[in-house]
Amino acid sequence: LVRNVLSDGRYEKSGNEQFLTELSKWIFHERGHLKAVNVKHHKVGETDEPALYRINDELEYSVEIYEWSGTSWEPYVTDDVQVQFYMMSPYVLKTLSNDKKGLYSASFKVPDVYGVFQFKVEYQKLGYTSLSISKQIPVRPYRHNEYERFIPTAYPYYGAAFSTVRLLHSPFKLLLYDPDSKNKWQDSSSFLLFIYITSKVWHV
């Protein structure tokens, strides 16, 4: 209770003292002060951090976040920390899972877009200092020898190529092995017409 010096009345304490105490702790980073350390990323199944990634690689990202308790750094535990895989705009946005000991991590696939990306963590929460973490990493396309032998999306083009070869097989066979056809092809105009039709077929 608080006693009024101008009267004999006693009153309950207001919350001003506690409010100012907590506010001063926050201002002087005695509470609500966060820090991020050990920012890491690597391919799934590996431990070394690569200089770049390839499109569609599977990767893991992790960061440790701690809160100052006034005497020591304690693990900060929450479920609303997110990481962005960012290039002009976020291509991937994942919520980080935590192990209750300050370690936050997530796994995701590199998008099918190459360029210079950033791992970004922008964390802002009422009553806590904000975190802004950024790490740049390039992403490259497949090399010419890294593609599959046959690409499924190209099957129609494979079929068109084989159909064209099959279509031209019979006329060339007649030209090369049929004596009557050889005599007919002596006429240059007929030969030029055949070449023209063949080029049109290949163009289609």
Shared domain check, 176 and 85: no
> For position 148, what pLDDT does the model report?
72
Residue 170: phi and psi, rounded to 5, are: -65, -50
Is residue 119 assigned to a domain?
yes
Is residue 23 assigned to a domain?
no
**pTM of the shown model:** 0.65
Is residue 15 assigned to a domain?
no
Is residue 11 assigned to a domain?
no
> How do beta strands 10-11 and 2-3 pair?
antiparallel
At which of 94, 111, 140 does a domain end? 140
Mean pLDDT, 10 residues at a time, the chain of 204 residues: 60 71 73 90 92 93 92 90 93 92 94 94 90 93 77 79 76 64 55 61 53
Residue 194: phi and psi, rounded to 5, are: -65, -40
Residue 176: phi and psi, rounded to 5, are: -85, -35
Which token pair is 11?
């009153």
Shared domain check, 114 and 179: no
Shared domain check, 120 and 81: yes
**Local structure of 182: helix, strand or coil:** helix
Look up the domain containing 95 and give its range: 31-140
Shared domain check, 128 and 65: yes
Shared domain check, 193 and 112: no
Is residue 195 assigned to a domain?
yes
Shared domain check, 123 and 44: yes
Shared domain check, 174 and 132: no
> For position 144, what pLDDT does the model report?
78
Is residue 95 assigned to a domain?
yes
Shared domain check, 65 and 162: no
For residue 171, what is the enclosing H or E element? helix 155-177
> For position 8, what pLDDT does the model report?
63
Spatial CB neighbours of 135, under 8 Å, sequence gap ≥ 6: 39, 41, 118, 119
